């Protein structure tokens, strides 16, 4: 079995499409050889080695040693030097390289091969003893940290790492010798420090720093492979959904040095600007430095060229002006790479003694705006076709254009107070308030507020609405706060269990910090991080972004899946239309009962003693709701509007304080104790599985009747005024065909009456939300009568898994850590379970009713992977919150292209 792939001198065993085996870095190093680009020779240990290593109790395959020795000889030949050779020693780097880039997440060891026996030879060869001892001390520091400490799992008693201790040695040495910078140290001094390092290592870790090139090499290889399972790497994979089984490759490469003097340099560059997408060669370099110096940020790097100089870097010399010939060579390589890879590249180079070496090329990360601009520009330049352009932007990246984001620098310098679940996108800053009423009051005084609650309920909505952002200590990604915030495109962080709220004192304890009402905090809703103080934000304005408009137009051309929105007010509806929504997929009507003037009628209804009283109470709501629906219909300009009839359990309308109970009792002419008894009777042990959804409309048909009438009167009256309307009335939480028929009959009877009364014929649909397993299992029966299905995948996920969204917080983290779940099923649709029910329902529903309109209106409607699944299963539309509409449009286009491609 071939475990080692060599490259160098324009030849290579591997190539760019072997990323799975060689990792991204290894494959591209090989490819650059094929492109005639100068690369220090080296070889790659494949990901198979990693897999073998982990499957065999950290033992390497037998054949590996021989293959490494062979490959090392190839480097020696090309570099005309010897690994461990006393006169002309070869030094190598040992670097990780996974299939997908995991920057900074794994370990590196440089300068391997430098020992007390090879040092003199290298000094002789380079004539630069300071450089050699500097390299030596760097090797010792890295090796001690990465190989001798991390790999062995040794924990030092004082809790400090060996690297820290060595850094302290340097600091002490500098202080004692009154030296300021590392560059001030001489060869002799570095030598002295190296000896101190070795003593410190022996002292703390109990073993000697190896003075043998072979030991150094294999120690480095082991350490890099083992860093695949380091904490940082594991967390990163979890976030990025990278499978643990992939493993990493390891690259061993001849060292080249950018710190060998004035004719040496090192730099990193992007073939285009990764922050703006502009077609400018963009990068940073340092003369006489090693790559790690650029990355570490200890020295301010110079700009690569004149064009990209800023006010801050005006005075620094560019590579373009300092080393113009080499810069020209680099420009050529840039063009070569972009033409070859058809994408923006992130490159690393080193100039050793006037000679340019490329150390890495990979597809460059970019922010959302840049991704869009590059995709559109590259299409215009003829580098890529439209399909590729569409597939090149991650749908989530559009988010950055739709919400204010935090200024990166401001965020990097701020202290993280706590981290919660990133429930609502964008960033925000504001002054802390602890109740919805306070939020309104402070906002009324012109203050920018952030509302902090244990968890939110529908009664907090007025405060949530005026707040810049919402922060809760409890709840998950689909808690009330999260749902409402996402609907508004509002920054929101939930389930932040580090917050200990003292509502009476209006203060919150976060670790050691105590914040009071009025204190400033800032939140990054995309990462879930919470900062103290007022951080700088960058506002959003996608419509001014020309390339965005192009890309979205292409997406709309490419997709067939319709995109609707979840909206319940005219303002939301208008916002969604602006974002390209083609209808409302879910208009919840709960809020239409909650308004101060209305909730009294609702409460009267709940307390009514007989159907007549109940009817009279509920009918008080008719004019209000009719008006609400008119507003929404108008905003939607004839697009379909799916209205869900009342869904939540009645006790949600009855969370009352003592005085409120008193008032209510007076109002309805009942004893206070009687009202209390009725409220207590509404209590449910599991309200999610209780008296809600269509179960309300069946027990209290008056509610269904009133809502149907409000919708249909609004629709007919607008039709009479010449406004186009298309209502789709949705019965919630149906589990049996009989439930649907019961409610449908009421709706159709009302419709007939209203149309007769108004003398107007109206197109309208009656359908149901499919959100229970039983609805999926009996979809054929339901589809005989229903005109549309809308999958409520939030509730469907709850019942399929038996997970309460509100309570999942106590075990979800453990489930993710233990790999019981690979991701939160409320965020991305569970294909195997929930997805199977969905597929069954689509198939059996369409079998009896080929005209059945099918959509999805759960939170998954805005998740690209779930959108792909919906498209694959033949849904007609997905519906998501207004701010996810552009994301869904692009994701739908991508799904269309990918499914088409997979069928060819």
Give the residue numbers marked as catalytic. 480, 857
What is the closest distance, in whole angstroms, from the C-beta atom of residue 728 to its own copies in the complex? 22
CA distance linking residue 112 with residue 146, whole number of Å: 13
Bridge partners (DSSP) of residue 499 are 510
What is the closest distance, in whole angstroms, from the C-beta atom of residue 649 to its own copies in the complex? 9
Angle at 310 between CA 308 and CA 316, to 5 degrees: 90
Residues within window 685-704 making contact with its own copies, judged by CB under 8 A: 685-691, 693, 695, 698-699
Smaller CB separation from its own copies, 218 or 869: 869
Contacts of residue 39, defined as CB under 8 A and 6 or more positions apart, other chains included, come to 7, 8, 29, 32, 33, 357, 358, 359
Among 778, 790, 794, 879, binds its own copies (CB under 8 A): 778
Q: Which backbone phi and psi does 401 adopt, to 5 degrees?
A: -85, -15
Smaller CB separation from its own copies, 810 or 851: 810
Specify the 3-state DSSP secondary structure of 546: helix
Q: Are 654 and 693 in contact (CB under 8 A)?
A: no
Q: Are 708 and 765 in contact (CB under 8 A)?
A: no
Smaller CB separation from its own copies, 125 or 836: 836
Among 86, 777, 848, 865, binds its own copies (CB under 8 A): 777
- Confirm or reject binding of residue 445 to its own copies (CB under 8 A): no
CA distance linking residue 348 with residue 491, whole number of Å: 37
Among 549, 774, 846, 872, binds its own copies (CB under 8 A): 774
| 3-state helix/strand/coil string of 810-868 | HCHHHHHHCCCCCCCCCCCCCCCCHHHHHHHHHHHHHHHCCCCEEEECCHHHHCHHHHH
What is the closest distance, in whole angstroms, from the C-beta atom of residue 806 to its own copies in the complex? 4
Closest Cα to residue 350, out of 267, 463, 270? Answer: 267
Smaller CB separation from its own copies, 670 or 777: 777
**Binding residues for its own copies, how many (CB under 8 A)?**
49
Smaller CB separation from its own copies, 8 or 693: 693
Segment contacting its own copies (CB under 8 A): 226-234, 265-273, 712-720, 765-773? 765-773
Segment contacting its own copies (CB under 8 A): 100-108, 214-222, 599-607, 736-744? 736-744
Query: Mask: binding to its own copies, 576-615, rule CB under 8 A, as x and -?
Result: ----------------------------------------
Among 202, 365, 612, 836, binds its own copies (CB under 8 A): 836
Residues within window 326-355 making contact with its own copies, judged by CB under 8 A: none
Please count the residues of the chain.
904
Segment contacting its own copies (CB under 8 A): 108-116, 159-167, 180-188, 733-741? 733-741
What is the closest distance, in whole angstroms, from the C-beta atom of residue 700 to its own copies in the complex? 9
Beta strand 562-566 with 877-880: parallel, antiparallel or unpaired? Answer: parallel
Among 384, 417, 772, 829, binds its own copies (CB under 8 A): 772
What is the closest distance, in whole angstroms, from the C-beta atom of residue 685 to its own copies in the complex? 4
Query: Mask: binding to its own copies, 659-688, rule CB under 8 A, as x and -?
Result: -------------------------xxxxx
Query: Mask: binding to its own copies, 284-323, rule CB under 8 A, as x and -?
Result: ----------------------------------------
Burial class (CB in 10 A: 0-12, 13-18, 19+), 276: middle
Q: Which residues of 653-663 are buried (b: 16+ CB within 10 A; e: fewer)?
A: bbebeeeebeb
What is the closest distance, in whole angstroms, from the C-beta atom of residue 341 to its own copies in the complex? 37
Look at the block and give the residue holding tokens 């490469």. 253
What is the closest distance, in whole angstroms, from the C-beta atom of residue 177 to its own copies in the complex? 46
- Confirm or reject binding of residue 785 to its own copies (CB under 8 A): no
Q: Pull the structure tokens for residue 510.
A: 């976060």
CA distance linking residue 829 with residue 212, whole number of Å: 53
Among 394, 549, 672, 742, binds its own copies (CB under 8 A): 742
Q: Are 714 and 629 in contact (CB under 8 A)?
A: yes
What is the closest distance, in whole angstroms, from the C-beta atom of residue 807 to its own copies in the complex? 4
Smaller CB separation from its own copies, 132 or 834: 834
CA distance linking residue 791 with residue 856, whole number of Å: 4
Segment contacting its own copies (CB under 8 A): 339-347, 557-565, 662-670, 791-799? 791-799
Smaller CB separation from its own copies, 400 or 771: 771
Among 736, 827, 873, 898, binds its own copies (CB under 8 A): 736
Smaller CB separation from its own copies, 177 or 681: 681
- Confirm or reject binding of residue 795 to its own copies (CB under 8 A): yes
- Confirm or reject binding of residue 738 to its own copies (CB under 8 A): yes
Supply the DSSP symbol for 249: E
Smaller CB separation from its own copies, 555 or 733: 733
Beta strand 449-453 with 469-472: parallel, antiparallel or unpaired? Answer: parallel
State the CB neighbour count (10 A cutoff) for residue 614: 19
What is the closest distance, in whole angstroms, from the C-beta atom of residue 652 to its own copies in the complex? 12
Specify the 3-state DSSP secondary structure of 482: helix
Smaller CB separation from its own copies, 212 or 736: 736
CA distance linking residue 902 with residue 343, whole number of Å: 23
What is the closest distance, in whole angstroms, from the C-beta atom of residue 464 to its own copies in the complex? 19
Smaller CB separation from its own copies, 386 or 691: 691
What is the closest distance, in whole angstroms, from the C-beta atom of residue 673 to its own copies in the complex? 12
Supply the DSSP symbol for 884: G
Residues within window 799-828 making contact with its own copies, judged by CB under 8 A: 799-804, 806-807, 810-811, 814-815, 818-821
State the CB neighbour count (10 A cutoff) for residue 756: 10
- Confirm or reject binding of residue 830 to its own copies (CB under 8 A): yes
Q: Pull the structure tokens for residue 60.
A: 């390497």
Supply the DSSP symbol for 728: E
Specify the 3-state DSSP secondary structure of 545: coil
Q: Pull the structure tokens for residue 716.
A: 């007919």
- Confirm or reject binding of residue 748 to its own copies (CB under 8 A): no
CA distance linking residue 441 with residue 382, whole number of Å: 56
- Confirm or reject binding of residue 739 to its own copies (CB under 8 A): yes
Smaller CB separation from its own copies, 64 or 808: 808
Closest Cα to residue 139, out of 209, 229, 69, 40? Answer: 209
Closest Cα to residue 630, out of 566, 698, 560, 723? Answer: 723
Q: Are 390 and 897 in contact (CB under 8 A)?
A: yes
What is the closest distance, in whole angstroms, from the C-beta atom of residue 777 to its own copies in the complex? 5
Query: What's the distance, CA 54 to chain centroid?
Result: 29
- Confirm or reject binding of residue 503 to its own copies (CB under 8 A): no
Contacts of residue 167, defined as CB under 8 A and 6 or more positions apart, other chains included, come to none
Smaller CB separation from its own copies, 386 or 742: 742
Specify the 3-state DSSP secondary structure of 731: strand
Residues within window 706-725 making contact with its own copies, judged by CB under 8 A: none
* Edge-to-edge strands, sheet with 248-254: 11-12, 4-8, 42-45, 248-254, 92-98, 108-112
Residues within window 840-859 making contact with its own copies, judged by CB under 8 A: none
DSSP E strand boundaries for 560-693 = 562-566, 584-587, 640-644
CA distance linking residue 259 with residue 783, whole number of Å: 73
What is the closest distance, in whole angstroms, from the C-beta atom of residue 455 to its own copies in the complex? 9
Query: Mask: binding to its own copies, 5-44, rule CB under 8 A, as x and -?
Result: ----------------------------------------
Residues that bind its own copies (CB under 8 A): 684-691, 693, 695, 698-699, 733, 735-736, 738-739, 742, 771-774, 777-778, 781, 795, 798-804, 806-807, 810-811, 814-815, 818-821, 830, 832-834, 836-837
């Amino acid at each position: 079995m071939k475990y080692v792939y060599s490259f160098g001198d324009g030849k290579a065993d591997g190539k760019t499409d072997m990323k799975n085996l060689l990792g991204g870095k290894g494959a591209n190093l090989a490819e650059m050889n094929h492109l005639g680009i100068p690369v220090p020779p080296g070889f790659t240990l494949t990901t198979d080695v990693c897999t073998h290593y982990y499957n065999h109790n950290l033992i390497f395959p037998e054949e590996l040693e021989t293959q490494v020795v062979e490959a090392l000889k190839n480097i020696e030949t090309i570099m005309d030097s010897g690994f461990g050779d006393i006169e002309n020693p070869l030094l190598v780097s040992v670097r990780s390289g996974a299939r997908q880039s995991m920057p900074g997440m794994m370990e590196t060891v440089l300068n391997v091969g430098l020992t007390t026996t090879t040092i003199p030879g290298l000094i002789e060869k380079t004539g630069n003893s300071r450089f050699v001892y500097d390299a030596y001390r760097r090797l010792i520091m890295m090796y001690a940290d990465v190989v001798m400490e991390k790999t062995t799992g040794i924990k030092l008693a004082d809790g400090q790492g060996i690297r820290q201790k060595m850094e302290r040695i340097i600091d002490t040495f500098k202080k004692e010798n009154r030296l300021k910078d590392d560059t001030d140290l001489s060869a002799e001094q570095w030598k002295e420090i190296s000896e101190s390092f070795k003593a410190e290592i022996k002292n703390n870790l109990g073993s000697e720093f190896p003075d043998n090139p072979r030991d150094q090499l294999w120690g480095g290889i082991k350490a890099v492979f083992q860093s695949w399972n380091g904490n940082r790497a594991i967390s990163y994979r979890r976030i990025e959904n990278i499978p643990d089984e992939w493993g990493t490759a390891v690259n061993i490469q001849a060292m080249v040095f950018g710190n060998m003097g004035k004719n040496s340099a090192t730099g990193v560059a992007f073939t285009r600007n990764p922050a703006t997408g502009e077609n400018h060669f963009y990068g940073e370099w340092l003369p006489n430095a090693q790559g790690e110096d650029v990355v570490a940020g200890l020295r301010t790097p110079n700009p690569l060229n004149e064009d990209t100089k800023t006010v801050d870097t005006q005075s620094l010399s560019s590579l373009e002006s300092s080393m113009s010939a080499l810069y020209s060579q680099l420009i050529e390589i840039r063009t070569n790479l972009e033409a070859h890879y058809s994408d923006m590249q992130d490159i690393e180079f080193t100039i050793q003694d006037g000679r340019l070496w490329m150390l890495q090329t990979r597809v460059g990360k970019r922010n959302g705006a840049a991704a869009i601009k590059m995709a559109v520009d590259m299409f215009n330049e003829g580098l890529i076709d439209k399909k590729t352009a569409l597939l090149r932007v991650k749908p989530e990246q559009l988010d950055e254009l739709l919400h204010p984001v935090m200024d990166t620098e401001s965020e990097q310098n701020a202290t993280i107070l706590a981290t919660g679940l990133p429930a609502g996108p964008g960033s925000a800053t504001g002054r802390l308030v602890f109740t919805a009423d306070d939020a309104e009051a402070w906002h009324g005084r012109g203050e920018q507020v952030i509302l902090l609650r244990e968890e939110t309920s529908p009664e907090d909505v007025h405060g949530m609405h005026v707040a810049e952002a919402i922060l809760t200590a409890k709840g998950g990604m689909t808690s009330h706060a999260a749902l409402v915030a996402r609907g508004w495109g509002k920054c929101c962080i939930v389930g932040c269990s580090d917050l200990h709220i003292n509502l009476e004192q209006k203060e919150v304890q976060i670790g050691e910090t105590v914040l009071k009402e009025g204190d400033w905090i800032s939140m990054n809703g995309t990462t879930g991080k919470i900062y103290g103080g007022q951080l700088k934000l960058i506002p959003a304005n996608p419509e001014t972004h020309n390339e965005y408009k192009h890309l979205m137009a292409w997406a709309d051309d490419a997709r067939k899946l319709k995109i609707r929105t979840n909206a319940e007010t005219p303002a939301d509806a208008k916002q969604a239309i602006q974002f390209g929504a083609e209808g409302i997929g879910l208009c919840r009507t709960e809020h239409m009962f909650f308004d101060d003037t209305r909730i009294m009628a609702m409460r009267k209804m709940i307390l009514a003693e007989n159907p007549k009283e109940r009817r009279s109470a509920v009918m008080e709501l008719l004019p209000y709701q009719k008006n609400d629906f008119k507003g929404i219909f108008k905003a939607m300009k004839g697009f379909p509007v799916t209205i869900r009839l009342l869904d939540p359990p009645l006790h949600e309308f009855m969370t009352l304080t003592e005085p409120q109970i008193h008032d209510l009792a007076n109002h309805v002419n009942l004893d206070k104790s009687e009202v209390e008894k009725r409220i207590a009777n509404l209590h449910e042990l599991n309200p999610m599985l209780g008296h809600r959804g269509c179960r309300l409309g069946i027990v209290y048909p008056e509610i269904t009747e009133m809502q149907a009438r409000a919708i249909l009167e609004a629709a007919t009256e607008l039709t009479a005024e010449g406004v186009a309307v298309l209502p789709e009335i949705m019965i919630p939480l149906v589990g049996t065909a009989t439930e649907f028929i019961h409610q449908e009959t009421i709706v159709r009877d009302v419709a007939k009456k209203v149309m007769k009364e108004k003398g107007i014929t109206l197109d309208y649909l009656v359908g149901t939300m499919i959100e229970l397993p039983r609805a999926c299992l009996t979809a054929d029966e339901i589809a005989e009568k229903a005109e549309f299905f809308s999958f409520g995948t939030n509730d469907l996920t709850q019942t399929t898994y038996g997970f309460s969204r509100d309570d999942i917080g106590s075990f979800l983290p453990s489930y993710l850590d233990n790999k019981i779940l690979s991701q939160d099923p409320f965020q991305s649709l569970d294909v195997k379970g929930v997805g199977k029910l969905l597929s069954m329902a689509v198939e059996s529903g369409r079998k009896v009713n080929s005209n059945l309109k099918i959509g999805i209106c759960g939170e998954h409607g805005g998740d690209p992977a779930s959108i792909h699944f919906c498209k694959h299963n033949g849904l007609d539309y997905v519906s998501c919150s207004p701010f996810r509409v552009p994301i869904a449009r692009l994701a739908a286009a991508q799904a269309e292209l990918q499914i088409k491609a997979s069928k060819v």
